[in-house]
Amino acid sequence: MNVREATSADEPTLLAFTEAIFAENWNRPWPAPEITPALWEGRLVLLAEDGDRAVGYAFGEFQPGQFVHVNIVYVMPEHRRRGVAKALLAAFAARAREQGIEHMSLDVATANEGGRDAWRRLGFSEWARRLTVPLERLEERVAARPPGGSYASLHVQTDDVEAVQAAVAKYLPRLGGSGAWVDGPRNGWVVMYADLVNRDRRARERLASELSNATAAPVIAIGVEQGAVVRYALFERGSVVDEYQSVPDYFGPLPPGDVVALSANPTVVSRLTGAEPARVRAVVRTASSPEELPPPDELLAQIAEVMGLEGAGRG
Protein backbone atom coordinates (compact mmCIF):
# COMPACT_ATOMS: atom_id res chain seq x y z
CA MET A 1 0.00 0.00 0.00
CA ASN A 2 1.43 3.36 -1.06
CA VAL A 3 0.19 6.75 0.16
CA ARG A 4 1.35 9.92 -1.57
CA GLU A 5 0.27 13.52 -2.01
CA ALA A 6 -2.10 13.99 -4.92
CA THR A 7 -1.14 16.16 -7.88
CA SER A 8 -3.15 18.01 -10.51
CA ALA A 9 -2.88 14.90 -12.70
CA ASP A 10 -5.00 13.03 -10.12
CA GLU A 11 -7.88 15.47 -10.42
CA PRO A 12 -10.23 13.15 -12.39
CA THR A 13 -9.75 10.41 -9.79
CA LEU A 14 -10.38 12.79 -6.89
CA LEU A 15 -13.55 14.12 -8.51
CA ALA A 16 -14.81 10.57 -9.10
CA PHE A 17 -14.06 9.55 -5.49
CA THR A 18 -15.83 12.67 -4.17
CA GLU A 19 -18.92 11.94 -6.26
CA ALA A 20 -18.91 8.38 -4.92
CA ILE A 21 -18.71 9.34 -1.24
CA PHE A 22 -21.39 12.03 -1.59
CA ALA A 23 -23.68 9.54 -3.32
CA GLU A 24 -23.07 7.02 -0.54
CA ASN A 25 -23.12 9.14 2.59
CA TRP A 26 -24.58 12.60 1.98
CA ASN A 27 -27.58 12.74 4.31
CA ARG A 28 -27.53 16.35 5.41
CA PRO A 29 -30.82 18.24 5.00
CA TRP A 30 -29.28 20.62 2.44
CA PRO A 31 -27.92 19.80 -1.04
CA ALA A 32 -24.37 18.59 -1.48
CA PRO A 33 -21.91 21.22 -2.73
CA GLU A 34 -20.82 21.36 -6.33
CA ILE A 35 -18.04 18.84 -6.82
CA THR A 36 -15.02 20.78 -8.06
CA PRO A 37 -11.35 20.98 -7.08
CA ALA A 38 -12.27 23.99 -4.93
CA LEU A 39 -13.48 21.50 -2.28
CA TRP A 40 -9.89 20.56 -1.39
CA GLU A 41 -8.12 23.75 -2.42
CA GLY A 42 -5.57 24.77 0.22
CA ARG A 43 -5.84 21.40 1.97
CA LEU A 44 -3.58 18.38 2.10
CA VAL A 45 -4.85 15.67 -0.27
CA LEU A 46 -3.47 12.15 0.09
CA LEU A 47 -4.06 9.34 -2.39
CA ALA A 48 -3.80 5.64 -1.51
CA GLU A 49 -2.64 3.25 -4.24
CA ASP A 50 -2.64 -0.50 -4.50
CA GLY A 51 0.01 -1.15 -7.09
CA ASP A 52 -0.68 1.35 -9.86
CA ARG A 53 -4.39 1.76 -9.01
CA ALA A 54 -5.84 4.50 -6.80
CA VAL A 55 -8.13 2.91 -4.18
CA GLY A 56 -8.91 5.75 -1.78
CA TYR A 57 -8.15 9.28 -0.73
CA ALA A 58 -8.41 11.71 2.16
CA PHE A 59 -8.08 15.44 2.50
CA GLY A 60 -7.96 17.78 5.44
CA GLU A 61 -6.59 20.99 6.88
CA PHE A 62 -4.06 21.84 9.55
CA GLN A 63 -4.29 24.30 12.42
CA PRO A 64 -0.61 24.48 13.40
CA GLY A 65 -0.01 23.86 17.07
CA GLN A 66 -3.66 22.85 17.55
CA PHE A 67 -5.14 20.02 15.46
CA VAL A 68 -5.57 18.52 12.03
CA HIS A 69 -9.13 18.07 10.79
CA VAL A 70 -9.72 15.38 8.19
CA ASN A 71 -12.66 16.44 6.01
CA ILE A 72 -13.12 13.28 3.97
CA VAL A 73 -11.80 9.72 3.99
CA TYR A 74 -13.00 7.53 1.13
CA VAL A 75 -12.04 3.98 0.20
CA MET A 76 -13.48 2.10 -2.77
CA PRO A 77 -15.97 -0.54 -1.49
CA GLU A 78 -14.01 -3.51 -2.82
CA HIS A 79 -10.86 -2.34 -1.00
CA ARG A 80 -12.38 -1.71 2.41
CA ARG A 81 -11.24 -3.58 5.52
CA ARG A 82 -7.77 -3.87 4.02
CA GLY A 83 -6.07 -1.11 5.98
CA VAL A 84 -6.47 1.66 3.40
CA ALA A 85 -8.17 4.13 5.74
CA LYS A 86 -5.60 3.35 8.45
CA ALA A 87 -2.77 4.06 6.01
CA LEU A 88 -4.32 7.39 4.99
CA LEU A 89 -4.82 8.49 8.60
CA ALA A 90 -1.32 7.36 9.56
CA ALA A 91 0.09 9.50 6.77
CA PHE A 92 -1.97 12.48 8.00
CA ALA A 93 -0.74 11.87 11.54
CA ALA A 94 2.90 11.78 10.42
CA ARG A 95 2.56 15.13 8.65
CA ALA A 96 0.72 16.59 11.64
CA ARG A 97 3.56 15.53 13.94
CA GLU A 98 5.98 17.47 11.74
CA GLN A 99 3.98 20.62 12.52
CA GLY A 100 3.85 20.00 16.27
CA ILE A 101 0.22 18.90 16.18
CA GLU A 102 -0.99 16.31 18.69
CA HIS A 103 -4.71 15.94 17.91
CA MET A 104 -6.81 14.86 14.94
CA SER A 105 -10.54 15.41 14.41
CA LEU A 106 -13.05 14.31 11.80
CA ASP A 107 -16.82 14.38 11.22
CA VAL A 108 -19.01 11.33 10.83
CA ALA A 109 -22.73 11.25 10.07
CA THR A 110 -24.96 10.04 12.92
CA ALA A 111 -26.54 7.49 10.58
CA ASN A 112 -23.17 6.13 9.43
CA GLU A 113 -22.90 3.41 12.10
CA GLY A 114 -20.18 1.52 10.24
CA GLY A 115 -18.02 4.62 9.99
CA ARG A 116 -18.61 5.53 13.64
CA ASP A 117 -17.56 2.04 14.75
CA ALA A 118 -14.46 2.14 12.57
CA TRP A 119 -13.30 5.47 14.00
CA ARG A 120 -13.96 4.34 17.57
CA ARG A 121 -11.77 1.28 16.98
CA LEU A 122 -9.00 3.65 15.97
CA GLY A 123 -9.37 5.58 19.22
CA PHE A 124 -11.61 8.48 18.19
CA SER A 125 -14.13 9.62 20.80
CA GLU A 126 -17.09 11.96 20.62
CA TRP A 127 -16.52 15.39 22.16
CA ALA A 128 -19.34 17.41 20.55
CA ARG A 129 -22.50 17.04 18.49
CA ARG A 130 -23.44 19.17 15.49
CA LEU A 131 -27.19 19.83 15.36
CA THR A 132 -29.35 21.22 12.57
CA VAL A 133 -32.82 22.72 12.32
CA PRO A 134 -34.86 24.21 9.45
CA LEU A 135 -34.97 27.99 9.94
CA GLU A 136 -38.76 28.01 9.67
CA ARG A 137 -39.06 25.62 12.63
CA LEU A 138 -36.51 27.58 14.66
CA GLU A 139 -38.33 30.87 14.03
CA GLU A 140 -41.63 29.30 15.04
CA ARG A 141 -40.15 27.97 18.29
CA VAL A 142 -38.43 31.26 19.11
CA ALA A 143 -41.62 33.23 18.49
CA ALA A 144 -43.68 30.81 20.58
CA ARG A 145 -41.21 30.69 23.47
CA PRO A 146 -39.52 33.98 24.33
CA PRO A 147 -36.18 33.85 26.18
CA GLY A 148 -36.35 32.61 29.76
CA GLY A 149 -39.55 30.97 30.85
CA SER A 150 -37.89 28.66 33.41
CA TYR A 151 -39.36 28.56 36.90
CA ALA A 152 -39.67 26.00 39.66
CA SER A 153 -40.35 25.30 43.31
CA LEU A 154 -39.28 22.81 45.96
CA HIS A 155 -41.88 21.06 48.12
CA VAL A 156 -40.86 19.42 51.41
CA GLN A 157 -43.37 17.00 52.93
CA THR A 158 -43.39 18.37 56.48
CA ASP A 159 -45.15 20.89 58.73
CA ASP A 160 -41.85 21.98 60.29
CA VAL A 161 -41.26 25.28 58.52
CA GLU A 162 -38.35 26.23 60.77
CA ALA A 163 -36.47 23.03 59.94
CA VAL A 164 -36.85 23.77 56.21
CA GLN A 165 -35.77 27.39 56.70
CA ALA A 166 -32.68 26.27 58.60
CA ALA A 167 -31.74 23.73 55.90
CA VAL A 168 -32.28 26.26 53.13
CA ALA A 169 -30.13 28.82 54.94
CA LYS A 170 -27.37 26.22 55.26
CA TYR A 171 -27.33 24.72 51.78
CA LEU A 172 -28.58 27.40 49.36
CA PRO A 173 -25.51 29.68 49.75
CA ARG A 174 -23.21 26.71 49.17
CA LEU A 175 -24.79 26.31 45.74
CA GLY A 176 -24.40 30.00 44.91
CA GLY A 177 -27.97 31.04 45.70
CA SER A 178 -29.63 33.58 47.97
CA GLY A 179 -32.93 35.31 48.58
CA ALA A 180 -35.07 32.26 49.31
CA TRP A 181 -38.73 32.45 50.21
CA VAL A 182 -40.11 29.61 52.35
CA ASP A 183 -43.88 29.36 52.70
CA GLY A 184 -46.45 27.04 54.19
CA PRO A 185 -47.16 24.45 55.11
CA ARG A 186 -49.59 24.07 52.25
CA ASN A 187 -51.57 20.84 52.26
CA GLY A 188 -48.79 19.12 54.21
CA TRP A 189 -45.90 20.54 52.15
CA VAL A 190 -43.56 23.44 52.90
CA VAL A 191 -42.79 25.31 49.67
CA MET A 192 -39.52 27.03 48.81
CA TYR A 193 -38.74 29.48 45.99
CA ALA A 194 -35.47 31.11 44.91
CA ASP A 195 -33.92 32.58 41.78
CA LEU A 196 -31.33 29.78 41.69
CA VAL A 197 -34.14 27.22 41.83
CA ASN A 198 -35.73 28.87 38.78
CA ARG A 199 -32.68 29.10 36.55
CA ASP A 200 -30.39 26.18 37.41
CA ARG A 201 -31.89 22.70 37.21
CA ARG A 202 -28.84 20.89 38.57
CA ALA A 203 -28.54 23.22 41.55
CA ARG A 204 -32.28 22.92 42.14
CA GLU A 205 -32.17 19.15 42.29
CA ARG A 206 -29.01 19.10 44.38
CA LEU A 207 -30.70 21.43 46.87
CA ALA A 208 -33.77 19.18 46.88
CA SER A 209 -31.51 16.24 47.73
CA GLU A 210 -29.89 18.16 50.59
CA LEU A 211 -33.26 19.24 51.98
CA SER A 212 -34.51 15.65 51.83
CA ASN A 213 -31.45 14.49 53.78
CA ALA A 214 -31.66 17.29 56.32
CA THR A 215 -35.38 16.93 57.04
CA ALA A 216 -35.71 13.16 56.49
CA ALA A 217 -38.79 14.02 54.39
CA PRO A 218 -39.72 13.46 50.74
CA VAL A 219 -38.95 16.48 48.54
CA ILE A 220 -40.24 17.29 45.06
CA ALA A 221 -38.43 19.71 42.73
CA ILE A 222 -40.91 20.68 40.02
CA GLY A 223 -41.03 23.35 37.34
CA VAL A 224 -41.08 24.42 33.70
CA GLU A 225 -37.84 24.42 31.68
CA GLN A 226 -37.31 27.04 28.95
CA GLY A 227 -41.02 27.64 28.68
CA ALA A 228 -41.37 24.28 26.96
CA VAL A 229 -41.20 21.20 29.16
CA VAL A 230 -42.35 20.20 32.63
CA ARG A 231 -39.86 18.41 34.83
CA TYR A 232 -39.85 17.02 38.33
CA ALA A 233 -37.53 14.97 40.51
CA LEU A 234 -38.83 13.24 43.64
CA PHE A 235 -36.32 12.62 46.44
CA GLU A 236 -36.49 10.35 49.47
CA ARG A 237 -33.66 10.41 52.05
CA GLY A 238 -31.53 12.35 49.60
CA SER A 239 -31.87 9.99 46.63
CA VAL A 240 -33.93 10.34 43.46
CA VAL A 241 -36.76 7.81 43.52
CA ASP A 242 -38.71 9.13 40.55
CA GLU A 243 -37.90 11.49 37.70
CA TYR A 244 -40.10 12.93 34.97
CA GLN A 245 -39.70 15.16 31.93
CA SER A 246 -42.67 15.80 29.66
CA VAL A 247 -40.48 15.63 26.51
CA PRO A 248 -37.67 13.25 27.54
CA ASP A 249 -35.23 14.07 24.71
CA TYR A 250 -36.00 17.80 24.52
CA PHE A 251 -32.41 18.69 25.46
CA GLY A 252 -30.86 16.08 23.17
CA PRO A 253 -31.19 12.45 22.00
CA LEU A 254 -31.33 9.85 24.77
CA PRO A 255 -30.92 6.06 24.85
CA PRO A 256 -34.30 4.27 24.98
CA GLY A 257 -33.74 3.30 28.61
CA ASP A 258 -33.25 6.92 29.65
CA VAL A 259 -36.42 7.94 27.83
CA VAL A 260 -38.38 5.35 29.82
CA ALA A 261 -36.70 6.47 33.05
CA LEU A 262 -38.05 9.99 32.55
CA SER A 263 -41.65 8.76 32.57
CA ALA A 264 -43.53 9.06 35.86
CA ASN A 265 -43.70 6.02 38.14
CA PRO A 266 -47.31 6.02 39.41
CA THR A 267 -46.51 3.58 42.23
CA VAL A 268 -43.76 5.75 43.68
CA VAL A 269 -45.76 8.96 43.23
CA SER A 270 -48.75 7.37 44.96
CA ARG A 271 -46.68 6.09 47.87
CA LEU A 272 -45.07 9.46 48.60
CA THR A 273 -47.86 11.90 47.72
CA GLY A 274 -51.08 9.90 48.09
CA ALA A 275 -52.00 10.51 44.44
CA GLU A 276 -54.21 7.93 42.74
CA PRO A 277 -52.04 5.86 40.35
CA ALA A 278 -54.70 5.98 37.64
CA ARG A 279 -54.74 9.77 37.73
CA VAL A 280 -50.94 9.88 37.62
CA ARG A 281 -50.98 7.72 34.48
CA ALA A 282 -53.63 9.90 32.88
CA VAL A 283 -52.07 13.28 33.64
CA VAL A 284 -48.30 12.84 34.04
CA ARG A 285 -47.57 11.81 30.47
CA THR A 286 -44.72 12.24 27.99
CA ALA A 287 -44.52 13.00 24.27
CA SER A 288 -41.96 13.48 21.53
CA SER A 289 -42.56 17.24 21.29
CA PRO A 290 -44.13 19.98 23.44
CA GLU A 291 -46.84 20.52 20.85
CA GLU A 292 -48.31 17.09 21.61
CA LEU A 293 -49.04 18.06 25.22
CA PRO A 294 -50.99 20.83 26.95
CA PRO A 295 -49.12 24.14 27.34
CA PRO A 296 -46.40 23.69 30.00
CA ASP A 297 -48.04 26.06 32.52
CA GLU A 298 -51.26 24.09 32.22
CA LEU A 299 -49.55 20.70 32.40
CA LEU A 300 -47.60 21.76 35.48
CA ALA A 301 -50.82 22.83 37.19
CA GLN A 302 -52.46 19.49 36.34
CA ILE A 303 -49.53 17.49 37.72
CA ALA A 304 -49.36 19.61 40.88
CA GLU A 305 -53.07 19.08 41.49
CA VAL A 306 -52.70 15.30 41.18
CA MET A 307 -49.84 15.33 43.70
CA GLY A 308 -51.55 17.77 46.06
CA LEU A 309 -48.86 20.44 45.63
CA GLU A 310 -50.14 23.96 46.21
CA GLY A 311 -48.16 26.90 44.83
CA ALA A 312 -46.12 24.74 42.45
CA GLY A 313 -43.78 26.63 40.18
CA ARG A 314 -44.50 30.32 40.66
CA GLY A 315 -46.33 30.31 43.93
Range of the domain at 229: 146-307
Residue 84 and residue 216 in one domain: no
Residue 8 Cα to chain centre, angstroms: 43
Residue 99 and residue 236 in one domain: no
Residue 82 has pLDDT above 90, yes or no: yes
> What pLDDT, in 10s, does the model give residues 1-22?
899 999 999 999 999 999 999 9
Residue 299 and residue 157 in one domain: yes
The model's confidence at residue 127, banded by pLDDT at 50, 70 and 90, is: confident
Residue 75 and residue 177 in one domain: no
Region 104-126: mean pLDDT is 89
Q: Which of 7-16, 62-71, 105-114 has the largest mean confidence?
A: 7-16
Residue 287 has pLDDT above 80, yes or no: yes
Residue 98 and residue 23 in one domain: yes
> What pLDDT, in 10s, does the model give residues 192-247?
999 899 989 999 999 999 999 999 999 999 999 988 999 999 999 999 999 999 99
The model's confidence at residue 248, banded by pLDDT at 50, 70 and 90, is: very high
The CA distance from 304 to 315, in Å, is: 12
Q: Which pLDDT score is estimated for 25?
A: 86
Report the interhelical angle of 266-273 vs 296-307 (nearest 10°). Answer: 60
Q: Is residue 314 part of a domain?
A: no
Residue 298 and residue 164 in one domain: yes
Q: Which pLDDT score is estimated for 143?
A: 54
CATH number at residue 156: 3.30.70.1270
Residue 278 has pLDDT above 70, yes or no: yes
Spatial strand order of the sheet with 219-225 comes to: 181-186, 189-193, 151-156, 219-225, 229-236, 239-245
Residue 214 and residue 110 in one domain: no
Query: Mean pLDDT in the chain?
Result: 91
- What percent of the chain is modeled with pLDDT above 70? 96
> What pLDDT, in 10s, does the model give residues 92-103?
999 999 999 999
> What pLDDT, in 10s, does the model give residues 263-273?
999 999 999 99
Contact predicate 205/138, CB 8 Å? no
End-of-domain residue from the set 121, 155, 178: 121
Region 294-303: mean pLDDT is 93
